[in-house]
Amino acid sequence: MTVGLVIVSHSEKIADGVVELASQMAADVAIIAAGGTDDGRIGTSFEKVQKAIARADSGAGTVIMCDLGSAVLTAETALDFLDDGVRERTWIADAPIVEGSVAAAVAAQTGASLAAVLVAASSAGRSDALDQDGDDASIPSPSPGEPRSDGSVDAEQSVTEIDLINREGLHARPAAAFVKLASGFEASVTVNGVDAKSLLRIMSLGLVRGDTLTLRGSGREAEEAITALRDLVASGFGEE
């Protein structure tokens, strides 16, 4: 049971396209399009949004992604008409529809909670979400080995280097697989300095075949996380 997504766009094609794009990285997540009006024109449909929420909601909650302003109005109005129990677990994300939907879908695929999916969507919208210096405000991950404020140093940390051998590099599907695996561990993990649990940051590194990854883990399960991620990269992600 994962958090579901509803994609509300004025354009049926945009909604369908976002569903197609996001589903590629999140095969098990219910991502439902609610694009255009009932008769196929540009606009948003209260009924389409209502029906999409009903299909996306498995009980774990639903995040609604919207494009232009009145899509938000239609979605909010649909929320007003939901039963209290469903309304409490249905949230509208404040995020760009494409980047936010992809980030939310990947988070949902990893089994993230409703709140975590919402954070993943909205952090995709910040201008600093794609900078490459690794200080993501939404996911505090202290640099491994650095003293904490109380003076202690992470006992468990692990560092390894590995070359990318697969054709696509760390992009799209391989990046999603990498993030999904990293998210399964409690440890804080970075790859070349960026959060290994943030799909957009990993993809923004633009790593291609032949590049070297530096994986650093700290905290509980650091060793296991680094070993598993190294093995995944070494396997070539099932590509040539």
Partner 1 sequence: MTENSTLGTDWALSWIRECARTVGENRSELVRLDREIGDGDHGENLDRGFTAVLQKLDASEPATPADVFKLVATTLISTVGGAAGPLFGTAFLKGSAAISGVDELDADALVAFLAAARDGVVARGKAEVGDKTMIDAWTPAVEAARSEQESGGDAHAVLSAAADAAEEGAASTEPLVARKGRASYLGERAVGHRDPGAQSSALLFRAAAETAGS
Backbone angles phi, psi at 158, to 5 degrees: -145, 135
| Cβ nearer to partner 1, comparing 36 with 219 | 36
Site for partner 1, residues 138 to 177, rule: CB under 8 A = none
| Cβ nearer to partner 1, comparing 27 with 73 | 73
The helix-helix angle for 12-23 and 97-109 (nearest 10°) equals: 40
The helix-helix angle for 69-80 and 46-56 (nearest 10°) equals: 60
Backbone angles phi, psi at 149, to 5 degrees: -65, -25
Binding mask 79-108 for partner 1 (x = CB under 8 A): -x----------------------------
Give residue 45's Cα distance to chain centre: 26
Name the minimum Å distance from CB 35 to partner 1. Answer: 12
Cα torsion angle, 30, 31, 36, 39, sign: negative
CB atoms within 10 A of CB 239: 13
204 and 130 in contact (C-beta within 8 Å)? yes
Q: For the chain, give the number of residues.
A: 240
Name the minimum Å distance from CB 43 to partner 1. Answer: 3
Using CB under 8 A, count the residues that bind partner 1: 17
From the candidates 8, 9, 10, 78, give the one annotated as an active-site residue: 10
From residue 132, give the alpha-carbon distance in Å to each of 22, 129, 192, 238.
Answer: 23, 8, 9, 27
Q: Could you tell me the two tokens for 58? A: 């498995």
226 and 188 in contact (C-beta within 8 Å)? no
142 and 218 in contact (C-beta within 8 Å)? yes
| Cβ nearer to partner 1, comparing 10 with 197 | 10
Site for partner 1, residues 16 to 75, rule: CB under 8 A = 37-38, 41-47, 68-70, 73-74
| Cβ nearer to partner 1, comparing 37 with 138 | 37
| Cβ nearer to partner 1, comparing 64 with 108 | 64
Check if 171 is active-site: no
Residues that bind partner 1 (CB under 8 A): 37-38, 41-47, 68-70, 73-74, 76-77, 80
Q: So which residues are the catalytic ones?
A: 10
